[in-house]
Amino acid sequence: MLSYVEARNLIISSLNTLEAINLPISESLHHTLAEPVIAPFEMPLFDNSAVDGYGVLVNDLINADLNNPIELKLIGSLEAGTKNLDGQPRIKLGECVKILTGAPVPPGVEAVIMKEYSAFEKQTDIGLFFKSVSKGENIRKQGEELKRGDRVIPANTRINAPVVGMLASLGYANFKVIKQPQIAILTTGDELIEPGQNLARNQIFNSNSYAIEAACRSLGLSQLIKLHCIDTREDTIEKMTQAIEFADVIICTGGVSVGDRDLVKPVLEEDFKVETILWRIAIKPGKPVFFARKNEKYFFGLPGNPVSALVTFHLFVKPALMRLQGVAPCDPAQNRAILSKKIKKKAGRMEFVRGIQKRTKDDNLMVEPTRGQESHMLSGLAAADCLIHFDLEDEVLDENTQVEIQKLDWQNY
Ligand code: AMP
Ligand code: MG
């Protein structure tokens, strides 16, 4: 059986980045940049003021302080958006010009002194100034942030709020991004009914459909359909056909093990002629994971147990969805923590033990396994914020040993 790392690498390397499309920037959130963002002009484009204040000459205020206020004569005023600087007289010694935040700083002005260090009597144009200034003070210099042609953000960056802001501030109305994968979630099982219906004793609610949808939406992926099939070949074929019609990625849950009614794998292989990349991984939860490909469509068969479905989504589907959008795979185990209590397992499968991170009194990171570790016990996963890596051949992890933990952050990769 493949190990976790082998399976993960195999899945990631079987995927091709989806095509690039041009999108209005207000629709670009949660997409990936298909090309680097280049500054089409320098930033700032013109010298402008960082504060509300007065443009002055440095020499005028050399000795200014609270006990020695200096008088300057106001000769003009500039607001943000002021178009024409040509009509403005150039300040001379003994003069100042009012400049508001973001307004252009006219040639000749050496510094902007904050309004707070000045006092003007009402209706007069003579003001008192209480502080000296240095050359360039409170002036945002033309080109100080970016030169024309600078690479501001590299390709393959996920677009978040600051990136959208950056695109807008550089004047891009549209930008080239990688298309988001369209996803079909196909749940399987005769025993499942939808929340809101009356539950008979032999039934359970279909939670995977909602949980996997939420996991996709948490990553900003909302082009999805949800389908459910009962455990017959006909229905599996029919729903799979609909799934394939819509989606780039088909995420099935249940029906991938070795039971008589586990039809996902046989139907995909025999009726849809997919190329199986892997089936079964030496992990717990999630041993029966199935992954296949046909043309540019990708198929995940996740286990039916709700914890297994979500954990394997996190371990394998998430990096795949990111890879399809051109995001480089990142190292899944990011942290080490002290285990709060002894845990045991059999050798032969790597376990992902659901844990909660805590800070000890001396500020060390500690991790506590949650209650309810069985793969049908969603409560244990809902309480967890990380997965403790319990390696393939290990059988015991003692209290107070250092363990590797992988954050369970559903919003981020
Ligand atoms: P299976 O892999 O189809 O044998 O399913 C394994 C276990 O997961 C069974 O107890 C199923 O009832 C349960 N299960 C399968 N699909 C779902 C689902 N969509 N929501 C909740 N539980 C499920
Ligand atoms: Mg089933």
User: Residues 229-280: pLDDT tens digits?
Assistant: 999 999 999 999 999 999 999 999 999 988 889 999 999 999 999 999 999 9
Question: What is the number of the ligand closest to the CA of 309?
Answer: 1
Q: What pLDDT was estimated at residue 332?
A: 79
**Is 334-407 assigned to CATH 3.40.50.1010?**
no
* Spatial contact of 188 and 233, defined as CB atoms under 8 Å apart: no
Better-predicted residue by pLDDT, 328 or 138: 138
Q: What pLDDT was estimated at residue 331?
A: 80
Protein residue with its CA nearest to atom 6 in ligand 1: 304
Which pLDDT band, with edges at 50, 70 and 90, does 210 fall under? very high
Q: How far away, in angstroms, is 190 Cα from ligand 1 center?
A: 10
- Residue 400 is given by DSSP the state T
* Spatial contact of 408 and 385, defined as CB atoms under 8 Å apart: yes
Average pLDDT over residues 397-409: 96
Q: What pLDDT was estimated at residue 89?
A: 76
* Spatial contact of 330 and 413, defined as CB atoms under 8 Å apart: yes
CA dist list (Å): 203 to 23, 43, 189, 301? 44, 62, 10, 22
Q: With a 6 A CB cut-off, is 206 part of the ligand 1 pocket?
A: yes
Q: What pLDDT was estimated at residue 216?
A: 98
The average confidence (pLDDT) of the chain is 96
Tens digits of residue pLDDT in 274-324: 999 999 999 999 999 999 999 999 999 999 999 999 999 999 999 999 999
Tell me whether strands 350-359 and 365-369 are parallel, antiparallel or unpaired: antiparallel
Q: What pLDDT was estimated at residue 341?
A: 96
Q: Tokens representing 329?
A: 């795979």
Q: What pLDDT was estimated at residue 123?
A: 87
Rounded CA separation 99/79 (Å): 6
Report the number of secondary-structure helices (H) and strands (E) in the chain.
8, 29
CATH architecture of the domain formed by 4-18+181-324: 3-Layer(aba) Sandwich (3.40)
CA 342 to chain centre: 34
Tens digits of residue pLDDT in 20-71: 999 999 999 999 999 999 999 999 999 999 999 999 999 999 999 999 999 9
Q: How far away, in angstroms, is 332 Cα from ligand 2 center?
A: 30
Q: How many beta carbons lie within 10 A of that of residue 333, not counting itself?
A: 15
Q: Tokens representing 400?
A: 């107070």
Average pLDDT over residues 76-99: 85
Q: SS3 for 19-86, per residue? A: CEEEEEHHHCCCCEECCCEECCCCECCCCEECCCEEEECHHHHCCCECCECEEEEEEEEECCCCCCCC
Rounded CA separation 58/94 (Å): 11
Q: How far away, in angstroms, is 188 Cα from ligand 2 center?
A: 6
* Fold classification of 21-43+145-178 (topology level): Molybdopterin biosynthesis moea protein, domain 2 (3.90.105)
Q: How far away, in angstroms, is 386 Cα from ligand 2 center?
A: 27
Pocket test for ligand 1, best of 204, 239, 252, 378 (most atoms within 8 A of CB): 204
Q: Name the β-bridge partners of 120.
A: 127
Q: How far away, in angstroms, is 261 Cα from ligand 2 center?
A: 7
Model confidence, pTM: 0.93
Question: What is the number of the ligand closest to the CA of 185?
Answer: 1
Q: Name the β-bridge partners of 33.
A: 177
Rounded CA separation 377/81 (Å): 60
- Residue 197 is given by DSSP the state B
Rounded CA separation 239/256 (Å): 16
Instruction: Say yes or no: do domains 4-18+181-324 and 334-407 share a fold.
Output: no
Q: What pLDDT was estimated at residue 81?
A: 85
Protein residue with its CA nearest to atom 23 in ligand 1: 304
Q: With a 6 A CB cut-off, is 132 part of the ligand 1 pocket?
A: no
Pocket test for ligand 1, best of 194, 199, 208 (most atoms within 8 A of CB): 208
Tens digits of residue pLDDT in 44-53: 999 999 999 9
Q: Tokens representing 58?
A: 């440095």
Q: What pLDDT was estimated at residue 35?
A: 98
Q: With a 6 A CB cut-off, is 301 part of the ligand 1 pocket?
A: no
Q: With a 6 A CB cut-off, is 191 part of the ligand 1 pocket?
A: yes
Protein residue with its CA nearest to atom 16 in ligand 1: 304
Task: State the closest ligand 1 atom to the C-alpha of 231, by its place in the atom list counted from 1.
Answer: 3
| Helix (H) or strand (E) run with residue 151 in it | strand 151-153
Q: What pLDDT was estimated at residue 410?
A: 94
Protein residue with its CA nearest to atom 15 in ligand 1: 304
Which pLDDT band, with edges at 50, 70 and 90, does 5 fall under? very high
* Fold classification of 48-140 (topology level): Molybdopterin biosynthesis moeA protein; domain 3 (2.170.190)
CA dist list (Å): 167 to 24, 84, 402? 10, 27, 43
pLDDT over threshold 90, residue 154: yes
| Domain ranges (residues) in the chain | 4-18+181-324, 21-43+145-178, 48-140, 334-407
pLDDT over threshold 70, residue 225: yes
Place of tokens 């003009």: 76
CA dist list (Å): 217 to 114, 222, 296? 47, 5, 22
Q: With a 6 A CB cut-off, is 285 part of the ligand 1 pocket?
A: no
With vertex at residue 42, the alpha carbon angle to CA 36 and CA 45, rounded to the nearest 5 degrees, is 140
* Spatial contact of 274 and 291, defined as CB atoms under 8 Å apart: no
Q: With a 6 A CB cut-off, is 82 part of the ligand 1 pocket?
A: no
Q: How far away, in angstroms, is 235 Cα from ligand 2 center?
A: 13
Helix, strand or coil for residue 332?
coil
Task: State the closest ligand 1 atom to the C-alpha of 256, by its place in the atom list counted from 1.
Answer: 2
Q: How far away, in angstroms, is 189 Cα from ligand 2 center?
A: 4
Please report which residue ranges of 192-327 form alpha helices under DSSP H.
208-218, 233-246, 264-266, 306-312, 318-324
Q: What pLDDT was estimated at residue 368?
A: 98
Tens digits of residue pLDDT in 170-195: 999 999 999 999 999 999 999 999 99
Q: Is the peptide bond before 106 cis (omega within 30 degrees of 0)?
A: no
Q: What pLDDT was estimated at residue 101?
A: 96
Residues contacting 104, CB < 8 A, separation 6+? 46, 47, 48, 78, 82, 85
Protein residue with its CA nearest to atom 14 in ligand 1: 304
For a pLDDT cut of 90, what percent of the chain falls above it?
Answer: 93
